[in-house]
């Protein structure tokens, strides 16, 4: 019998109030059962929001550095449990063990970063144009925040959202992805053990479809933070806009690496392999388009196909695996569907292009590292997010065309540019349209203290990560104190 996951509401592990369908999560790499749960319903969402709302009254009064101390408590637990959680991650969602450790490390880094931000002023003192008058700003919490997180960074992304929300004095209802619910439970256990008061952090589990609407439109939810697909994110935006809720979205990507004719090709090759096939291409930041200058195109395609075709695909627990299983069968079918579309569109398959089924692969969802050349910028495989180990190579004649093609997508999360020409690198960093722009490095691997998020259909202007995450999870209040004892009229008395 696998481990059961319950909801966590008001400091208690509780069963759903409804009759929810039983859901079972299996290791996508070998089919072993990982955990089971019951689908939550709207009454569970209501209970979690009510607990978070009640807890907010006291939690918002706790001094921010005191809240930060609880985050530092949690980091001790995460560090102690790092290996065990990383091992679970390789089994629950399939990423290789080294990357799983990195995922947990990202939460550790985030804890230190946000605990320190908890001691920062986060306001300005502003000189008044009138005498005996003081003006300053302060940050205040929003209230109940709904945190909806994906399966691809099952500890890191919950940490990006929970820590800043909590340090700023908000309370939370967390809805982890249904594919990584056991890791969601681990995350909630850690915060509970750290000493956050009851009701401050709550978790509701199951598929989003039956409960998502209630969570994002609940009158007592002040803010929704969502990382996931553009389709779901935009649906949430449509539902929350008439209610004027704060919404922070981080959605899809179609991230390019541009390789100029003077680039260090060996460096570019290894960067492309890592940022395209690491995590089986299942990162919002993963590269899915390589835009190569015609002078080095044929050589680079050959290098890429030779190496990509030999990448070891295997269970995440095998340290030799370069990448692991695809998260679920639906995603595997979607990836293969896009490969068929690419073939029909006339792209040339350089390597991969198939589901792996033989031997040890038989029990899991594995896909070969796939490289297409002869891809035109308008093909669907060059426009739509595939979220798998599928890379499209596009040939361009010069810098201008490279930038045009790179920007010619509906997304703008991460871009990358390889060249030895320092002037061109600076130009590219200005002209590429994305929230993150890497020079002579691949598209993945953002650090916690940098603003993270994207342009166009990737986001809606918020940046989680870095100091900007505080903006997403707080309100600004400007305080004006007139100690002149007179009625002073701004813009009038002093002019």
Of 145, 172, 275, 284, which residue is the catalytic one?
A: 284
- Bridge partners, residue 482, by sequence: 133
Of 174, 198, 197, the closest CA to residue 186 belongs to 174
The residue from 285, 370, 392, 457 that contacts ligand UN1 (CB under 6 A) is: 285
Task: Give the integer Cα–Cα distance in Å for 412 and 409.
Answer: 8
Q: Does 474 bind ligand UN1 (CB under 6 A)?
A: no
- Concerning whether 250 is annotated as a catalytic residue, the answer is yes
Stretch that binds ligand UN1, among 59-67, 213-221, 282-290, 418-426 (CB under 6 A): 282-290
Closer CB to ligand UN1, residue 20 or residue 253? 253
Of 96, 92, 90, the closest CA to residue 180 belongs to 92
Burial (CB count within 10 angstroms: exposed 0-12, middle 13-18, buried 19+), residue 460: middle
The residue from 194, 225, 248, 444 that contacts ligand UN1 (CB under 6 A) is: 444
Instruction: Please list every residue from 82 through 111 that binds ligand UN1, using CB under 6 A.
Output: 106
Instruction: Please list every residue from 208 through 247 that binds ligand UN1, using CB under 6 A.
Output: 227
Task: Look up residue 395 and give its two tokens.
Answer: 């040939």
The residue from 151, 153, 163, 323 that contacts ligand UN1 (CB under 6 A) is: 153
Please say whether the beta carbons of 176 and 154 come within 8 A: yes
Task: Give the integer Cα–Cα distance in Å for 329 and 306.
Answer: 28
Stretch that binds ligand UN1, among 378-386, 420-428, 442-450, 479-487 (CB under 6 A): 442-450
Closer CB to ligand UN1, residue 180 or residue 444? 444
Burial (CB count within 10 angstroms: exposed 0-12, middle 13-18, buried 19+), residue 376: middle
Q: How far is CA 292 from CA 148, 393, 397, 432, in A?
A: 37, 7, 8, 15
Closer CB to ligand UN1, residue 23 or residue 441? 441
Give me the numbers of helices (H) and strands (E) for the chain, helices first please: 14, 24
The residue from 7, 149, 152, 321 that contacts ligand UN1 (CB under 6 A) is: 152
For residue 441, the 8-state DSSP code is S
Task: Give the integer Cα–Cα distance in Å for 277 and 275.
Answer: 6
For residue 175, the 8-state DSSP code is E
Q: Does 445 bind ligand UN1 (CB under 6 A)?
A: yes
Stretch that binds ligand UN1, among 256-264, 283-291, 318-326, 344-352 (CB under 6 A): 283-291
Minimum distance from residue 234 beta carbon to ligand UN1 (Å): 17
- Bridge partners, residue 87, by sequence: none
Closer CB to ligand UN1, residue 129 or residue 447? 447
The residue from 139, 283, 297, 395 that contacts ligand UN1 (CB under 6 A) is: 283
Contacting positions for ligand UN1 (CB under 6 A)? 106, 152-153, 227, 283-285, 444-446
Catalytic residues: 250, 284
């Amino acid at each position: 019998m696998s481990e059961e996951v319950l909801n966590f509401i008001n400091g208690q592990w509780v069963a759903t109030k409804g009759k929810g369908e039983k859901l079972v999560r299996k290791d996508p790499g070998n089919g072993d059962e990982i955990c089971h749960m019951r689908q939550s319903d709207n009454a569970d969402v209501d209970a979690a929001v009510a607990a978070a709302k009640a807890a907010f009254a006291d939690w918002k009064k706790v001094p921010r550095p005191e809240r930060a101390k609880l985050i530092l408590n949690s980091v001790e637990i995460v560090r102690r449990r790092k290996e065990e959680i990383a091992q679970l991650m390789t089994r629950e969602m399939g990423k290789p063990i080294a990357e799983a450790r990195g995922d947990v490390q990202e939460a550790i880094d985030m804890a230190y970063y946000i605990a320190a931000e908890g001691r920062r002023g986060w306001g300005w003192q502003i000189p008044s144009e009138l005498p005996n008058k003081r003006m300053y700003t302060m940050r205040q919490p929003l209230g109940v925040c709904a945190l909806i997180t994906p399966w691809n960074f099952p500890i890191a992304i919950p940490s990006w959202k929970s820590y800043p929300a909590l340090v700023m004095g908000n309370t939370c209802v967390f809805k982890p992805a249904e594919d990584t619910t056991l890791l969601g439970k681990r995350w909630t256990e850690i915060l509970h053990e750290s000493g956050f008061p009851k009701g401050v952090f709550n978790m509701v589990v199951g598929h989003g479809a039956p409960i998502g609407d209630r969570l994002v439109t609940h009158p007592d939810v002040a803010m929704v933070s969502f990382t996931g697909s553009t389709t779901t994110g935009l649906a949430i935006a449509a539902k929350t806009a008439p209610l004027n809720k704060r919404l922070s979205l981080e959605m899809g990507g179609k991230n390019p690496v541009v390789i100029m004719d003077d680039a260090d090709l060996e460096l570019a090759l290894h960067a492309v392999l890592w940022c395209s096939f690491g995590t089986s291409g299942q990162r919002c930041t993963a590269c899915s388009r390589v835009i190569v200058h015609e002078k080095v195109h044929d050589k680079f395609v050959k290098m890429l196909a030779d190496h990509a075709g030999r990448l070891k695909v295997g269970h995440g627990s095998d340290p030799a695996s370069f990448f692991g299983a695809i998260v679920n069968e639906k995603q595997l079918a979607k990836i293969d569907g896009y490969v068929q579309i690419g073939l029909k569109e006339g792209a040339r398959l350089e390597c991969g292009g198939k589901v792996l089924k033989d031997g040890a692969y038989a029990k899991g969802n594995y896909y070969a590292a796939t490289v297409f050349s002869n891809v035109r910028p308008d093909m669907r495989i060059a426009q739509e997010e595939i979220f798998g180990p599928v890379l499209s190579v596009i040939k361009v004649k010069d810098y201008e065309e490279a930038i045009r093609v790179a920007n010619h997508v509906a997304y703008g999360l991460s871009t990358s540019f390889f060249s030895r020409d320092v002037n061109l690198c600076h130009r590219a960093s200005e002209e590429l349209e994305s929230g993150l722009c890497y020079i002579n490095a691949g598209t993945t691997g953002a650090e916690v203290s940098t603003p993270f998020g994207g342009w166009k259909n990737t986001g809606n202007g918020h940046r989680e990560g870095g100091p900007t995450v505080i903006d997403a999870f707080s309100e600004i209040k400007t305080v004006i104190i007139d100690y002149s004892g007179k009625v002073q009229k701004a813009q009038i008395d002093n002019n």
